[in-house]
Amino acid sequence: MDVTIEESWKAKLNAEFEKPYFKELIEFVKQEYRTHTVYPPGKLIFNAFDSCPFDACKVVILGQDPYHGPGQANGLCFSVNDGIPKPPSLLNIFKELKDDVGTPIPVSGNLERWAQQGVLLLNATLTVRAGEAGSHQKKGWETFTDAVIERINEEKEGIVFLLWGKYAQEKGKIIDKTRHHILEAKHPSPMAAKWGGWFGSKHFSQTNTYLRKLGKPEIVW
Sign of the alpha-carbon torsion through 7, 29, 76, 57: negative
- Out of 55, 65, 99, 146, the active site residue is 65
Active site (annotated) includes residue 50: no
The secondary element (H helix, E strand) that includes residue 163 is strand 160-164
CB under 8 Å, gap of 24 or more: what pairs does 196-205 form? 198/92, 198/96, 198/164, 199/92, 199/95, 199/96, 199/99, 200/96, 200/99, 201/96, 201/100, 202/96, 202/100, 203/96, 203/100, 203/162, 204/96, 204/97, 204/100, 204/101, 204/103, 205/100, 205/101
The residues assigned a catalytic role are 65
